[in-house]
Amino acid sequence: MSRRYDWLIVGAGFTGATTAERLARGLGQRVLVIDRRDHPGGNAHDRRDEEGRLFHPYGPHIFHTNSGRIFDYLSGFTDWRPYFHRVRGHVDGRLVPVPFNLDSMRRLFPAAMAERLSARLIDVFGFGARPTIADLMAASDDADLRFLGDYVFDRVFAHYTRKQWGMEAGALDPAVTGRVPVVVSRDDRYFSDRYQAMPRDGYAALFDRMLDHPNIHVSLNTDLAEVEPGRFDRMVYCGALDDYFGRSAGDLPYRSLRFEHQVAPVADGLPVGTVNYPNEFDFTRVTDFRHLTGERAETTRLVTEYPIPHTPGATEAFYPIPSEASRRLADQYRAMARDLEGRVWFAGRLADYRYYNMDQAVGRGLSLVEKALAPAILKAAA
Ligand SMILES: Cc1cc2nc3c(=O)[nH]c(=O)nc-3n(C[C@H](O)[C@H](O)[C@H](O)COP(=O)(O)OP(=O)(O)OC[C@H]3O[C@@H](n4cnc5c(N)ncnc54)[C@H](O)[C@@H]3O)c2cc1C
């Protein structure tokens, strides 16, 4: 007879793996983790190519967080390699730091103009500040700042957004524009988080260690539909919210990506981890894994990302489309999910229908166990 589990966790990405680890190691629960893919790790999965180099099949994943708690938690399963991600944008024929900073201006504008704009930014926002382009464009009484806001919006953001989302910037949630920063310094690190590092042996090794526990059984190549309901008491579902309900209220819209992986016959590839192409081509960015992994070879492994529409069943659902209509539809499904309270919990970037960075997915798993699952276990035992 097949074994019975306290919990079924659907999806072995960061949300599911964290939840499973805390339930098993922290609370002594018996956990079955399934994933329809042939590996754990979700989109953060990495593996070695034929030449033994680590790469990320689902696109470049750079770890960064401001949370000491999340960094410490993951440090239980990996050592780290310090890494500051840097991005250059191909703008008006030059490669300039992105987010746009004081050096980007120097490379693109005549010297006197770059000086004047830099002085104005420092004056208004202070050295080291990160105002958004929305802040600059809102400075209606300052022609210099408005010019800069419009320039960055047009040359760095608008066309990139059109490619990334397949729609005009104006049709997206204003929060998206609201987040694009201009950096008032020469700091060219892409992220500003306190902790920035890559797992020293890669993400797959980190996931193997998280899930390596006698109370955790991992079943790969297994879809939720294949698991007999009698095999578990309760479930944490990290798959797509609309999938769970047979998409009965309609498809939640996503943007997908096509990845073109290639090995270039050169030892020195890109000057930094990622180069963005905001204004030309139908791809958005190219990433050179040597920078992310620290592994050097005679050749260079690159990945180019082509944003494409998402078709359920045919492409991967990567980015929830942030619009009023999609929010309303997700709320409809969330109301259906509430009817399953106490039996099925929904968590993760697909089940919450929210874009999460990896640290947020880990945080979601940690707080789910602490705030909802541990109390539910206690209640059932009382
Ligand atoms: C191109 C790209 C680049 C990214 N770069 C970064 C980055 O640099 N830094 C960063 O912090 N974050 C990055 N992210 C975000 C990161 O991938 C997510 O934060 C993380 O993967 C979320 O983990 P999750 O467990 O919630 O979801 P996922 O990783 O998507 O895991 C969900 C899992 O559920 C499985 N599943 C779904 N339905 C079923 C079912 N019915 N039965 C069985 N299994 C099922 C799926 O196969 C999947 O493995 C990036 C995302 C993308 C798309």
**Alpha-carbon distance values, 16 to 64, 237, 287 (Å):** 19, 8, 27
Q: Which residues of the chain have pLDDT under 70?
A: 1-2, 140, 173-174, 176-178
Fold of 5-84+197-251+321-381: Rossmann fold (3.40.50)
Pocket test for ligand 1, best of 358, 360, 364 (most atoms within 8 A of CB): 358
Q: State if residue 317 touches ligand 1 by the CB under 6 angstroms criterion.
A: no
- Which amino acid, residue 7? W
pLDDT value for 140:
66
Pocket test for ligand 1, best of 39, 61, 255 (most atoms within 8 A of CB): 61
pLDDT value for 322:
82
The two beta strands, 300-309 and 254-264, are: antiparallel
Question: Which residue's CA lies nearest to atom 25 of ligand 1?
Answer: 13
Question: Which residue's CA lies nearest to atom 10 of ligand 1?
Answer: 357
| Helices vs. strands in the chain: H and E counts, helices first | 15, 17
Question: Which residue's CA lies nearest to atom 50 of ligand 1?
Answer: 61
The two beta strands, 5-10 and 216-219, are: unpaired
Question: Which residue's CA lies nearest to atom 38 of ligand 1?
Answer: 239
Share of the chain above pLDDT 70, in %: 98
Question: Which residue's CA lies nearest to atom 37 of ligand 1?
Answer: 239
Per-domain residue ranges of the chain: 5-84+197-251+321-381, 87-178
Please report how the helices 14-21 and 203-211 are oriented relative to each other, as an axis angle in degrees rounded to 10.
30
For residue 144 the two structure tokens come to 């210099």
Cα distance between residue 165 and residue 171, in whole Å: 10
Q: State if residue 42 touches ligand 1 by the CB under 6 angstroms criterion.
A: yes
Question: Which residue's CA lies nearest to atom 2 of ligand 1?
Answer: 59
pLDDT value for 1:
46
**Which atom of ligand 1 is nearest to 352's Cα?**
26
Cα distance between residue 187 and residue 352, in whole Å: 34
Instruction: Compute the mean pLDDT over every residue in the chain, rounded to the nearest whole number.
Output: 95
Cα distance between residue 69 and residue 137, in whole Å: 36
